Structure 1
């Protein structure tokens, strides 16, 4: 039991931090541009595929640097030549643009790499057990993934709160016209922030690709959870996204590891309750995929602005 708790906690924190790497970029983009980028998870997928291809040519470590830069440059180009022109037509046009972009990216990925999973492997230098919990070996690569996520989270907080660039970005979030009057190119700031947000998603893709499955539908599998994180944390709230990421990561990881059901707790139903028999025997692990969405519904009912969001946001 203790082994299950410790392992599930580590895996939940790791999964939550990976979610935060993506949700943080999406949150900053929404705060600045007011755009819920439906294609954000597609840049996570691009990061994984770029990382896979570049690791075959140059090795994993160069790929970890080059892939996010390529994805970030592509994201900046999307903002500069796509969203900026669509923005004048309103939020509906922006949502449709990013929705279509997500499908376009997925189709391009399938044309280049196909639909089968890629043989994206953990680098040999990190392919060993870091420690043993009771009888379970915990991979060193997962510790590396967690360390990268924590380091980026700390750098992001320090960068936004303590540096001149971070202060300019925060000012542009709330008072773009004043920042423009002070001589800063607000359009360029928007473009760079959008590119940086997509690069963060790509970092998550590069480091998650060897541990998870790298395939052309990975954006569709993770995209909905990403928006749950952003809404539960509070639209535009970076600390809220961090808390929601960890909450959902731990919730889903623990739920997957629990095989208990109502039948195991209260006993089987009598012969007169055949209509409820299937529901009575459903395990917690079987309903684990829907729990984040149940949390989303409860948050929208009880606190529509999210955990740390505001009505103004």
Structure 2
């Protein structure tokens, strides 16, 4: 399917007729993994049947951020990455609805009536088998189906899908794989490598002194994969993809407070400050280590680069 431009709509109230009436997939969709893609495919089938646009309804911030403001960072992707992941799936619109106190206080019936029916005017709602909604997560897929019958939209429920190898296709399973440094398992669930996107910021420039200039990216609200060294592929703003080796973490030798992704782009020598890069973590090479000095660190970095080149071919 050809990628298209996804229209992003950040409210559910007072929308013009041109932004209503879609067949929608509803959920958090963090990661847009293969399980999420199955729910979107169900909405796509309904959109084709009904002659309606295909849309996704998600929330920003993620509901967990409102209910657990002190929770450790856990996101698998930014809103920008979500939009780009949905484009090849044929999605016309992404409703990124503000998850605020008003939304959190709605009963399941209110959410179905006020948001889906009156606000978005949905023609169809596709959800996953474990979808919950409304205050206290009281609403179920069965309840949504009942509300849909009353309010005039159809509902489809996608059963749990596991990979043929028995892999659970869920965001929590992706997070478990990333914590374990199992990038192959994370990519198998996501359908593509896990990637961190962010602006290149100024670091302490120590890498330059040993001939290893790095592009440094703050981790922000991304969940923290296993700290250590990775073989990477980085997409530049102009579309070029450059192989690299990256340290992700707090660098035990020159400790920093907040974890950074520090990418050494191999065979590359251009300034990237202020540019937004997206770096795929292809393979976990080793954990973070402390070294006896800069010479020992340099020897290890060269070994890491060789290992990354071997992995990346």
TM-score range, shorter chain: under 0.3
Whose helix proportion is higher, 1 or 2? 1
TM-score by length of 2: 0.22
* Structure possessing the higher relative contact order (Cα contacts under 8 Å, 6 or more residues apart): 1
Whose strand proportion is higher, 1 or 2? 2
